[in-house]
Chain A
Amino acid sequence: MSRDIHTVEGIARVVGVDGATAWLEPEQTTSCGSCASAASCGSGSGSGATGIGTVANRIAARRFALDNAAGLAVGERVVIGVDHRALIKGALTAYGLPLLLALGAGGSAEAAWGNDLASMAAMAAGLLLGLLAARTVAGRLGARGELEPRFLRRARPGETCSGSVA
């Protein structure tokens, strides 16, 4: 099956169905693709630990709702996707905007006063201002529905986000 290059795909599991809404939890992915130490490593999903700061807790925190037009049932694995431009836009909004304002404010304070404490205060203020601006921009993107994941298809048995089937 060919992949849509304009969509970033991920695998999620249906954990609840509430009328026309399905609740999904994304499956954990790792930067390393797992290794022989996965059972004892914090980035592996096989540790089975629960509680604050654990993988299970992080996944539960990223639970999201999806329109259940496809009639999904609890326990099913599905492939969801977001537009690749939305990912870049979202990353620039969340990280780029606060950083630019923080660096701009810090640089201006350094040029004006040449004092580390003043630069530090200005940079912190710029960061806070940037986060507020990011909130506004993200609100606009969200209102247009650009940040919402959408259902693509049911996952094949053993399918992972890298496309392999066991």
Chain B
Amino acid sequence: MKDFALMMIGAALVNNVILARFLGLCSFMGVTTRIDTAAGMGLATTFVITVSSMADWAVQHYLLDPYGLGFLRTVTFILVIASAVQFTEMTIKKVSPSLFQMLGIYLPLITTNCAVLGVALLLVEGHMSFVGSTLFAFASSLGYSLVMVIFAGLRERLALAQVPRLFAGPPIGFIVASLLAMAFMGFSGISTG
């Protein structure tokens, strides 16, 4: 239990997907203009990363490893992720058409989010159990969501600030992102994940 907890803290904070591994930067800059949309995107990505990591673990251990098909890993994982997104989209539409109207906008964007594939490939290197790899994926995506919401909050404040014209918009966004990454470096040493 303690190992799982340390591994999750390491995945979420120390080796944060966005600020330490530099994955998912497209959505990090593109969908963080408001806290609520960032939170919606973060939760959708959390769901897809966790579900696709479950499927990826099964594919890796029952198909790719036994038949020596490791060279097809990246292509296979991309297929699994695209299928997971389609599954999620169809399920949400079936579960509640109203929710689909509201949240469906985020789902197609996740297919091309490199954080999803990045986490799946990291799991293979980790050689973890099924529950361990799922919890690692869940914690990594929670870290992703946390950073998205924090950055969206900062950008909402920035929108009200008087920023010099030269730095207005994306430039000040990148500067704030780098400062946030430096702040997250403070978590180094808590756990090696």
Q: Is the CB of B43 within 8 A of A92?
A: yes
Give A79 to B73 CA distance when docked, in angstroms. 44
Instruction: Report whether A142 and B96 are in contact in the complex, using a CB–CB cutoff of 8 Å.
Output: yes
Chain A residues with CB under 8 Å of chain B are: 8, 10, 26, 29-33, 42-43, 58, 61-62, 64, 82, 84, 86-88, 90-96, 98-99, 102-103, 106-107, 110, 116, 119-120, 123-124, 127, 131, 134-135, 138-139, 141-142, 147-149, 162
| 7 smallest beta-carbon distances between A and B, as pairs | A138-B96, A147-B98, A95-B47, A84-B36, A31-B30, A91-B43, A116-B130
Residues of B at the A interface (CB closer than 8 Å) are 26-27, 30-31, 33-34, 36-37, 39-40, 43-44, 46-47, 50-51, 54, 58, 61, 91-93, 95-96, 98-105, 108-109, 112-113, 129-131, 134-135, 138
B31, B39, B112, B134: the one within 8 Å of A88 (CB)? B39
6 A/B residue pairs, CB under 8 Å, sorted by A? A62-B104, A88-B36, A99-B47, A110-B130, A119-B129, A135-B95
Partner of A95, one of B44, B54, B108, B129: B44
Please give the distance in Å from B82's CB to the nearest CB on chain A: 10
Least CB distance, B44 to chain A, in whole angstroms: 6
Q: Given A31-B27, A94-B95, A139-B96: A99 and B40 within 8 A (CB)?
A: no
Whether B95 contacts A31 by the Cβ 8 Å rule is: no
A87-B37, A147-B98 given as contacts; is B92 within 8 A of A94 (CB)? yes
- Which one of B30, B105, B131 lies within 8 Å of A26 (CB-CB)? B105
Q: How far is the CA of A155 from the CA of B31 in the complex (A)?
A: 21
> Contact check: which of A30, A88, A91 meets B44 at CB < 8 Å?
A91
Inter-subunit contact A62/B100 (CB<8 Å)? yes
Specify the chain B residue showing the minimal Cβ separation from A63. B101
Query: With A and B bound together, what is the CA distance between A84 and B30 in angstroms?
Result: 18
Question: How far is B95's CA from A98's CA once the two chains are assembled, in angstroms?
Answer: 11
